[in-house]
A = this chain, B = another copy of it.
Amino acid sequence: MSGRQLPLAKAELRAQVIKSLAHAARVQMVDALARGEMCVCDLRDLVGLDISTVSKHLALLKAAGIVRVEKRGLNQFYRLNCSCLSAFFECVDSVTAGNARHYREATRP
């Protein structure tokens, strides 16, 4: 029993979620949201982009199911919708760490 191949439909679902995290600003925002909810203007200060751009990034994360939002007064407070992201980033960081090690070995033999 070698396990069958991943169907395209499921791969596309996965890809959509992964895509939503495949941008430095969104990575920064998600990282910050891991420490608690934030409003859009706080996130704009964090990443230093136009607030309309930040709003679009957040809409993307929301559509992917990464964050949820709650309105209180004038502000929209965004928070993480899933608790597994630290494991996710741990894997990503282990890859970048491997790359850095490989790079060192290649350039300083």
Task: Tell me whether A55 is interfacial, beta carbon within 8 Å.
Answer: no
Say how many copies of this protein the assembly contains. Answer: 2
Task: Tell me whether A70 is interfacial, beta carbon within 8 Å.
Answer: no
Distance of A13 from chain B, by nearest CB (Å): 5
Task: Tell me whether A87 is interfacial, beta carbon within 8 Å.
Answer: yes
> Chain B residues with Cβ under 8 A from A3's Cβ?
35
Task: Tell me whether A82 is interfacial, beta carbon within 8 Å.
Answer: yes
Residues A2 and B82 in contact, CB atoms below 8 Å apart = no
A interface vs B, CB < 8 Å? 2-3, 5-6, 8, 11-15, 17-19, 21-28, 31-32, 35, 46, 64-66, 81-82, 84-85, 87-96, 98-99, 102
